[in-house]
Amino acid sequence: MINKKVASVEAALSGVEDGMTLMLGGFGLSGIPENSISQLVKLNVKGLTCISNNAGVDGFGLGLLLHKRQIKKMVSSYVGENAEFERQMLSGELEVELIPQGTLAERCRAAQSGFPAFYTPAGYGTEVAEGKETREFNGKMYVLEHAFKADFAFVKAWKGDEAGNLIFKGTARNFNPNMCGAAKITVAEVEELLPVGSLDPNQIHIPGIFVHRIFQGSNYEKRIEQRTVRKK
């Protein structure tokens, strides 16, 4: 069994350079690779293209990279919780590509599966389809979308083993699994890293073949974007 374990986040992010395209998992602030993002801030890599459903919030998640002007282009679905993102976008400092959420997920999954492109009805007749090939199937129009091409994918799982097998928890399953194996190198950080054979095979969401490096994360804040509670 190939051992994918690396000793530290520093080793896990070896090879990250300026100008790269990165995938970052998570849904809102759930399941984001907090340790990897913090290391990207320390590395101070610039000119990044980041593919992520969200753009974090001010002072946390991808908001940390935005604050230091490390991101050149953001490819996302929902970006409504980040004032700095809004400022940079409106000022022209940040290039932004907004994509329908299902299309974003499928462009990740297509890259994971080795499909170069696919047709989807989402976005037909809107700005999303401008400049793209369209085609009719069974009387309905579809837009051709291409799979993403990324250098690194950073994902966060609940549990993993040294062979790279991963188990996600709750909402963290929305984008993290689709990004595994969708880039040249997939880095997984986990809350609990176990020896091979410790995980129930029936509970594994992503097999280790989709993961290149795995490490034990620490000090997760697990913030909530908007806390909603019942009135007493």
> Is-contact 186 210, C-beta < 8 A?
yes
Q: Which domain holds residue 103?
A: 9-117+148-216
Q: What is the pLDDT of residue 223?
A: 78
Q: Detail the DSSP E strand segments found in 53-133.
A: 71-76, 95-98, 117-120
Please indicate, yes or no, if residue 24 is contained in any of the structural domains. yes
**How long is the chain?**
232
Question: Which residues contact residue 131 at a Cβ distance below 8 angstroms, ignoring those fewer than 6 apart?
Answer: none
Taking residues 88-103, report their average pLDDT: 94
Please report which helix (H) or strand (E) contains residue 85, including its range.
helix 83-91
Answer yes or no: is 139 within a domain: no
Q: What is the per-residue pLDDT across 16-67, written as a single tens digit (0 to 9) for each?
A: 999 999 999 999 889 999 999 999 999 999 999 999 999 889 889 999 999 9
We report the CATH number of the domain holding residue 49 as 3.40.1080.10
Q: Could you tell me if residue 141 is inside a domain?
A: no
CA angle 75, 81, 87 (to 5 degrees): 70
DSSP state for residue 148 in the 8-state scheme: P
Bridge partner residues of 216 (DSSP): 190
- Whether 171 maps to a domain, the answer reads yes
pLDDT at residue 95 tops 90 = yes
pLDDT in tens, 162-179: 999 999 999 999 999 999
Instruction: Please give the tally of structural domains in the chain.
Output: 1
pLDDT at 224 over 80: no
In a domain? residue 227: no
Q: Please report how many Cα atoms fall inside a 13 Å half-sphere around the Cα of residue 232, on the Cβ side.
A: 0
The 10 Å CB-count burial string (b at 16+, else e) for 127-161 is: ebbeeeeeeeeeeeebbebebbebbbbbbbbbbbb
Task: Tell whether 143 is covered by a domain.
Answer: no
Q: Does 97 map to a domain?
A: yes
Q: Report if residue 122 sits inside a domain.
A: no
% residues pLDDT > 90 (the chain):
86
